[in-house]
Amino acid sequence: MKITIPVSLIAADSDARTISGRIVTWGEVGNTSAGKTLFAKDSIALKPVKLFIDHNMDKPIGKVLDFDAHDEGIDATFKIANTQRGNDALVEAMEGLKDGFSVGIKLSEYDNTDEGLVVKNSQLIEVSLVESPAIDSARVSEVAASDDPTNEQEGSDMTETPELQTENEVSVEAAKVEASVKPTSAPVFTSPRVDTNVTAGQYVHAQIKAQRGDTDARDLVAALEVATVAENTGMVPPNYLRDIIGIIDDSRPFINSIERAPLPPSGMKIFTPKLGTQATVAVTAENAEFDSTDTTVTFQEDNVIKMAGAGIISVELLDRSEPSFVDLYLRELSASYAQKTDQYASQIASQNASASSGASVYAAIADGISDSYGVMRFTPNRLLVAPSGGTNNIDFAGLLGAVDSAGRPLYAAALPQNANGLISQGSTAGTVAGLSLVVDPNYTGDDLNAKHALVYPSAAMRFHESGTVQLRANVVANGQIEIGIYGYIAVVNRYPTAFRKLAVA
């Protein structure tokens, strides 16, 4: 079992390209990848390790020079490589931008208590620089950033102590590693010996078993959390979520037609700068004062919301069925999550849109294109319609059935001289008046009934979403199991009136 625990740096000094500080404090509770955790005195066996950024094990930035295990905890000094990543790490540590330590250990002996997980015996496998500390008393004491050997002698006496000493009299001379010897990597020290290639259903099974005290399941859950945070940052989902993310992304036609962006790492609001009063230019006579206007910038405020859903199943169904049943159940939850998020975003677009109309369907679309262009100076590129039931029959069924005065199809046309667009038979793909067609079964309009066709540019709205949805499983009353899925989203409607509701006058 691998545990990572972030702690804080104390200070920064720029003389000898070293970073020093407390990497762990005995007996103090911190939040780790395994939950609340505290380390018993002398519970970490030390060995030469490398220093990484945010547990990215592919790119070390330095190596340990010295450990000092004492009654309060463990202090360490690391030599930072003269690389761009190393230089950036030194600057970020000195500026207080990335001033935390996080240790990774291989857990071998522990107790579960009311305070949390008590580590009794473990092996240090790596240390990383991180942004957010969990133990306030563990801080960096010095950062030294010069390559000059003289400065190293004067700036820090910690760099002259190569021996590592533990309570078990284990001594390793880290400073005497020959530069010509290429270091080897042993998987046991860089990742837990747990197969993390599991399905979402198997992950939920492991969560339930871990709550019941199964150590193997607990190891798997901890390993997956480490892999998710340390190896799959940003928008890349871990293996056990890829099928679910695929279902969600394929089930949101409207969201896929607008701009996408990740959510900020914290906060329940998004603030987007907006230009208020704009600068002006005018014809100006010779020696006359320039025409000027104070430009103002305001901020649009949008809420971050949580989309969540759960269901309760019997413990017998969970225990006596294959994980494939849970996979199927999670796929159904994922499809519902996709539909609700897509519906939420499309309703915001429809509620704030302005009207455009014309004497015919085609004239209404042309008017919508012109009006939308006047708002953003961006040519609109999308036409959103519902499968059926749209206002004035401007929907997918209406477009497929539209004909000219001679009864010839206007959009599902086989001959180009007859067409105002081209919708492929047997699919929802196509173009109408040069706009990419978006047929959305999740779209219910602004009042849940009026399914207005919308003309809009993709850049008019931006959809923010957390990197991955989260799975949660809990044992509830009567031994039943609750399985849930949730994620955080925000919709930024940058130009509401660039969305045009179409109507036939």
| Per-residue pLDDT at 189 | 36
Highest mean pLDDT among 280-289, 417-426, 451-460: 451-460
> What is the percentage of the chain residues whose pLDDT exceeds 70?
72
| Per-residue pLDDT at 137 | 57
Tokens standing for 23?
């990497």
Question: Cα–chain-centroid distance for residue 21?
Answer: 30
| Per-residue pLDDT at 312 | 82
Selection from 101, 98, 100, 76 nearest residue 89 by Cα: 98
* pLDDT band with cut points at 50, 70 and 90 for residue 100: confident
6: pLDDT strictly greater than 50: yes
**Residue 458, helix vs strand vs coil:** helix
Secondary structure string (H, E, C) spanning 109-131: EEEEECCEEEEEEEEEEEEEEEC
Output b/e per residue, 426-438; b: 16+ Cβ within 10 A.
eebebbbbebebb
Q: 295-300: long-range contacts (C-beta < 8 A, 24 or more apart)?
A: 297/273, 298/273, 298/274, 299/271, 299/272, 299/273, 299/274, 300/271, 300/272, 300/273, 300/274, 300/492, 300/494
* pLDDT band with cut points at 50, 70 and 90 for residue 497: very high
pLDDT tens per residue, range 322-338:
666 777 788 888 888 88
| Per-residue pLDDT at 498 | 95
Selection from 401, 434, 406, 407 nearest residue 420 by Cα: 434
pTM confidence score: 0.55
The mean pLDDT value for 352-365 works out to 92
pLDDT tens per residue, range 227-265:
443 333 333 445 555 556 666 767 899 999 999 988 887
| Per-residue pLDDT at 11 | 45
Secondary structure string (H, E, C) spanning 172-213: EEHHHCCCCCCCCCCHHHHCCCCCCCCCHHHHHHHHHHHHCC
Tokens standing for 119?
């580590």
Question: Cα–chain-centroid distance for residue 409?
Answer: 46
**Residue 353: which residues within 8 A CB-CB, separation 6 or more?**
446, 452, 454, 456, 496, 497, 499, 500, 501
- For strand 430-432 and strand 435-439, is the pairing parallel, antiparallel, or unpaired? antiparallel
* pLDDT band with cut points at 50, 70 and 90 for residue 186: very low
Selection from 127, 130, 128, 152 nearest residue 142 by Cα: 152
**Residue 277: which residues within 8 A CB-CB, separation 6 or more?**
293, 294, 295, 296
Distance CA(483)–CA(230), nearest Å, equals: 25
**Residue 63, helix vs strand vs coil:** strand
pLDDT tens per residue, range 273-311:
877 666 778 888 888 888 777 777 788 899 999 998 888
Distance CA(116)–CA(138), nearest Å, equals: 19
DSSP 274-294: EE-SPP------TTPPPP---
111-115, 188-192, 259-263, 419-423: segment of lowest average pLDDT: 188-192
218: pLDDT strictly greater than 80: no
135: pLDDT strictly greater than 80: no
200-211 and 323-351 are packed helices; what angle lies between their axes, rounded to 10 degrees? Answer: 110
Distance CA(205)–CA(305), nearest Å, equals: 28
| Per-residue pLDDT at 358 | 92
145: pLDDT strictly greater than 70: no
What mean pLDDT, rounded, does the chain reach? 76
185: pLDDT strictly greater than 60: no
The mean pLDDT value for 149-169 works out to 39
| Per-residue pLDDT at 256 | 92
List Cα–Cα distances, 309 to 341, 391, 489, in angstroms. 12, 31, 14
Distance CA(182)–CA(192), nearest Å, equals: 23
| Per-residue pLDDT at 316 | 78
Backbone angles phi, psi at 467, to 5 degrees: -55, -40
**Burial class, 229, CB count within 10 angstroms (exposed 0-12 / middle 13-18 / buried 19+):** middle
The mean pLDDT value for 16-30 works out to 85
355 vs 141, more confident: 355
* pLDDT band with cut points at 50, 70 and 90 for residue 464: very high
* pLDDT band with cut points at 50, 70 and 90 for residue 101: confident
242-251, 434-443, 455-464: segment of lowest average pLDDT: 242-251
| Per-residue pLDDT at 300 | 86
- For strand 259-262 and strand 461-465, is the pairing parallel, antiparallel, or unpaired? parallel
The mean pLDDT value for 453-467 works out to 91
